[in-house]
């Protein structure tokens, strides 16, 4: 059977590359106030603090390398028979650096900058600063091109279309606490897809999945990809 696979990834897939998750012990949201660094109001109150937070994350991302889980998903796209789409909540670029081509960043990307005044987007410099000017309109309104709480994620209509067409939906390394991504398992399941969770700890929505496997992404994902590729062999 030719599969149409949609894979949702979260911070857990990049954890073994050294990038922190949000809600685990020592996660980013245990050390930073989400309201201060990941909301439009927080940015309006203290843009320097928000830029500093994302400058550090951008530097960490540049220093990180893809792990076996990212590489396995790229292999699946390259060697599988059907369509493979990675929808990631992550703002890092480790899927791309592993070789995946169909990657949609629903929460934006650290590598991009956005002008809050005119909507222009460009490649982010290593360090962003409230005094930077937009290359298009010259306003002092530059921000990281990431989606904050209270903002609408990217490409949602296209994502829902792909979830409706999917034969298999897989969620990897996400706690299932942030919507709309947390509801993708229900959206895909209702439309007839089989659903699989690969995670270190059970997500909030684990009971919505047909199957769940618990463990490290670097173990689970390569093993699952090998299974899918073996089934696809003639």
Q: Which residues form the catalytic set?
A: 107
By CB under 6 A, name the one of 56, 65, 133, 177 that touches ligand OAD.
Answer: 177
Instruction: Give the bridge partners for 84, in sequence order.
Output: 5
185 and 213 Cβ atoms separated by less than 8 Å: no
Under the binding rule (CB under 6 A), the answer on residue 201 touching ligand OAD is: yes
Q: Interior CA angle at 220 toward 206 and 212, to 5°?
A: 20
* Residues of span 59-88 touching ligand OAD by CB under 6 A: none
Helices 217-232 + 68-79 axis angle, to 10: 10
The 6-35 site mask, x for binding ligand OAD (CB under 6 A), equals ----xxx--xx----xxxx--x--------
Nearer to ligand OAD, 136 or 214 (CB): 214
* Between 89 and 142, CB nearer to ligand OAD: 89
Residue list 134-153, contact with ligand OAD (CB under 6 A) = 147, 149
Stretch that binds ligand OAD, among 42-50, 125-133, 174-182, 225-233 (CB under 6 A): 174-182
- Rounded CA separation 165/154 (Å): 19
Q: Which of 85, 199, 209, 222 binds ligand OAD (CB under 6 A)?
A: 199
CA–chain centroid gap for 216, Å, is: 17
Choice from 39, 216, 223, 232 touching ligand OAD (CB under 6 A): 216
Cα(188)–Cα(6) distance, integer angstroms: 9
Chosen residue from 17, 100, 142, 175 binding ligand OAD by CB under 6 A: 175
Q: What residue number has its CB nearest to ligand OAD?
A: 12
Q: Which two tokens stand for residue 95?
A: 């899927």
Q: Quote the least distance from Cβ 191 to ligand OAD, whole Å.
A: 22
107 binds ligand OAD (CB under 6 A): yes
Half-sphere exposure of 225 (CA within 13 A, CB side): 22
For the record, the structure tokens of 77 come out as 């796209």
Integer Cα distance of 18 and 14 in angstroms: 7
The yes or no reply on residue 203 touching ligand OAD (CB under 6 A) is yes
| The residue to which tokens 């369509």 are assigned | 83
At 110, which helix (H) or strand (E)? strand 108-115
Instruction: Out of 49, 81, 111, 178, point to the residue binding ligand OAD (CB under 6 A).
Output: 178
CA distance 86 to 32: 28
Residues that bind ligand OAD (CB under 6 A): 10-12, 15-16, 21-24, 27, 38, 89, 107, 147, 149, 173-175, 177-178, 199-201, 203, 216-217
């Amino acid at each position: 059977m030719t599969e149409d696979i949609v894979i949702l990834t979260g911070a857990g897939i990049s954890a073994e590359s050294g990038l922190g998750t949000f809600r685990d012990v020592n996660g980013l949201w245990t050390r930073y106030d989400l309201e201060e660094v990941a909301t439009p109001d927080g940015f309006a109150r203290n843009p320097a603090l928000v830029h500093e937070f994302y400058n550090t994350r951008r530097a960490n991302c540049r220093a990180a390398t893809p792990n076996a889980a990212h590489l396995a998903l790229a292999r699946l796209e390259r060697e599988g028979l059907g369509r493979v789409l990675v929808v990631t909540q992550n703002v890092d670029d480790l899927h791309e650096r592993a070789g995946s081509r169909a990657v949609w960043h629903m929460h934006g990307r650290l590598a991009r900058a956005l002008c809050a005044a005119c909507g222009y987007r460009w490649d982010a410099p290593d360090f962003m600063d409230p005094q930077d000017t937009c290359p298009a309109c010259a306003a002092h309104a530059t921000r990281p091109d990431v989606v904050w709480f209270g903002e609408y994620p990217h490409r949602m209509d296209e994502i829902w279309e792909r979830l409706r067409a999917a034969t298999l939906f897989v969620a990897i390394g996400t706690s299932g606490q942030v919507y709309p991504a947390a509801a993708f398992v229900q959206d895909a399941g209702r439309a007839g897809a089989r659903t699989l969770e690969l995670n270190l700890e059970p997500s909030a929505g684990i009971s919505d999945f047909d199957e769940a496997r618990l463990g490290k992404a670097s173990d689970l994902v390569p093993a699952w990809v090998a299974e899918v590729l073996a089934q696809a062999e003639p």
